[in-house]
Structure 1
Amino acid sequence: MQIVTKVAEMQDVCRKLRLNGRMLGFVPTMGALHAGHISLVRRARAECDVISASIFVNPLQFAPGEDLARYPRTFEEDCRLLEAENVDVLFAPDAAEMYPQGAVTTVSVAGVGDRLDGASRPGHFTGVATVVAKLFHVVSPQRAYFGQKDAAQLAVLRQMVRDLNFHVELVGCAIVRDPDGLALSSRNKYLSSMERARALTLHRALRQIEHMIASGERRTAQLIAGGMEILKTADEVRVDYLSIVNANTLLPVTSAEAGTLVAVAAYIGTTRLIDNLLVA
């Protein structure tokens, strides 16, 4: 696996990877890789001829006081994992390479970027959209792979791709969970054993809503109330939001029809976790 740290070199490498009509798949990450990330790489490997990935902890998507400084960084282990999956090239720039002195341009996705996590973390999706737009320009992949766990992020990026005419297909991949149902996240490393047990409440709340829908309840107010009852059973779980929304616009809906997004975010101690499901 080739490791590249400079924008110009990465552009040249990816240009060569795309020669002769080869399909280039791209998996952007912030590192601290887990089985969820590897599932994206494997999906890309199954669908594309050549694979690129990136590791970059993007400072632009962290607000003051968030966990930028302590976000887990496991670069050497990440490289071993990606190499084992036959990734062709890894882009691993530093912040100065991605945001050179004097850079002022950002990408703001108004509306959808201000909902769910965008409402809770003002400016977060501007940071996400900006870095992903830059990565798309550097890599120019035909397909890019993202986890469904970050459903709001996926909605924001799809809007950006449409609006800015990026020639890339965004592929959303299923959430990967531990056997007990906890959605895999790099931030799970922050949790104590007691906090991890409490974190399962998010999945239980979603399962409760799923059960209510299967039983015929579609009214979102009642579904949210049912989910909140589960969330209230755990100590030291502070709910940020539990919302039922259109998966593309992230606007609230009154009835949970097929394709509707049920999304939850909560603080377990000081760690903010997210989870979701799509209504079948």
Structure 2
Amino acid sequence: MRRDAGKGEMGMRKVSRIQEVRSFLREASGRSIGLVPTMGYLHEGHLSLLRRSRKENDVTAVSLFVNPTQFGPGEDLEAYPRDLERDLALLEREGADLVFAPRPEELYFPDASTWVEETRLASGLCGASRPGHFRGVCTVVLKLFQIVGPTRAYFGEKDYQQLQVIRRMTRDLNVPTEVVGCPLVREPDGLALSSRNTYLSPEERASALRLSRCIALAREAARGGQRDARSLRETARRHLEEDPRIRVDYLELVHPETLEPLETLDGEGRLILAAWVGKTRLLDNGTLCPEAGR
């Protein structure tokens, strides 16, 4: 468990160099370390990961890094929202011990030619829509694991495929870090928290509520006895396509661990989707179970 006395001695330290991270962690030798990897522009979802880490570890490190290698041509790398001073103030308030905010050249050599790629769970869904995306994710996450050496690393279930891909990568490469998945955090009206929500106009934000509502409709149908995965998917898709501002990228009902598409909902399934609302691509997902009351 966390040692508050130790935190008081160290305070929050913000660094930008790998060597500074390692120097800090030498001071924390023998303590459990939690890592919360983020791309910054923090919201309550990120902060919930930090709080979980603080409860379960002696030291909590947070990375703030908009990773260029997970963005494809024409994606929003340059436009991705950033506010370092705001992020630092939030992290200090929440009790982070270490903040690692590197520049791209600190993590990537100009002639880098080594990449990390998971080839099964990453092949569909976002992997099909964004070729190379998960190669960039796996590479930067493994770099952070190598730099920080965390006991545990915390990822939100909003990026559900990412969570499963990182779990598989960590398992396959025998990385001695426990990957902890944390519940998706929503606004009071149901919209999944995302840094990209800031792109939405008021009208688009109202349309975006259909993402969580379509999952609720499919869940209700499953509880009512519907087991056919195609029918459950169509129930959700129809609700999205009723709004002209929404363009569905993908919508699938999958096994929660393998991400393989289901034909019949015999046990727990995960309805997972990506959709464009105006020019903004948003993700959402939720559990579907045949048993009533779940």
- The answer to whether structure 1 residue 13 and structure 2 residue 8 are counterparts is no
Relative to the length of structure 1, the TM-score reads 0.97
Q: How does 1:13-52 map to 2 (within 5 A)?
A: 13-17=24-28, 19-20=29-30, 22-52=31-61
Shift of 1:130: 0.4
Contact 1:257 1:279 in 2 (8 A): no
C-alpha distance in 2 between matches for 1:16 and 1:151: 34
C-alpha distance in 2 between matches for 1:129 and 1:95: 16
Q: Residue type matched to 1:80 in 2?
A: A
Contact 2:252 2:273 in 1 (8 A): yes
Shift of 1:214: 1.0
C-alpha distance in 2 between matches for 1:158 and 1:15: 27
Secondary structure of residue in 2 paired with 1:114: coil
Q: Deviations over 1:149-194 (max 9, x none)?
A: 0000001101100111000111111111111100000000000000
The percentage of aligned residue pairs carrying the same residue is 49
Secondary structure of residue in 2 paired with 1:145: strand
- 1:60 maps to 69
Shift of 1:258: 3.7
C-alpha distance in 1 between matches for 2:25 and 2:145: 11
Contact 1:115 1:251 in 2 (8 A): no
- The answer to whether structure 1 residue 203 and structure 2 residue 220 are counterparts is no
Question: What's the C-alpha RMSD, in Å, of the aligned pairs?
Answer: 1.0
Q: Deviations over 1:7-55 (max 9, x none)?
A: 12212322332x23x2111100000100000010011111111100000
Relative to the length of structure 2, the TM-score reads 0.92
Secondary structure of residue in 2 paired with 1:112: coil
Runs of 5+ in structure 2 lacking a partner? 1-11, 290-294
Q: How does 1:115-130 map to 2 (within 5 A)?
A: 115-130=124-139
1:105 to 97, 104, 114: 114
Q: How does 1:1-280 map to 2 (within 5 A)?
A: 1-17=12-28, 19-20=29-30, 22-280=31-289
Q: 1:211 to 1:83 in 2, by over 3 A?
A: same
Q: Residue type matched to 1:161 in 2?
A: T
Q: Which moved more, 1:61-70 or 1:222-231?
A: 222-231
C-alpha distance in 2 between matches for 1:257 and 1:105: 41
Contact 2:218 2:288 in 1 (8 A): no
C-alpha distance in 2 between matches for 1:67 and 1:276: 22
C-alpha distance in 2 between matches for 1:16 and 1:260: 44
Shift of 1:257: 4.0
Contact 1:26 1:53 in 2 (8 A): yes
Contact 2:233 2:252 in 1 (8 A): yes
C-alpha distance in 1 between matches for 2:267 and 2:27: 42
Secondary structure of residue in 2 paired with 1:113: coil
Q: Residue type matched to 1:5 in 2?
A: S
C-alpha distance in 2 between matches for 1:275 and 1:136: 26
Contact 1:206 1:277 in 2 (8 A): yes
C-alpha distance in 2 between matches for 1:257 and 1:178: 31
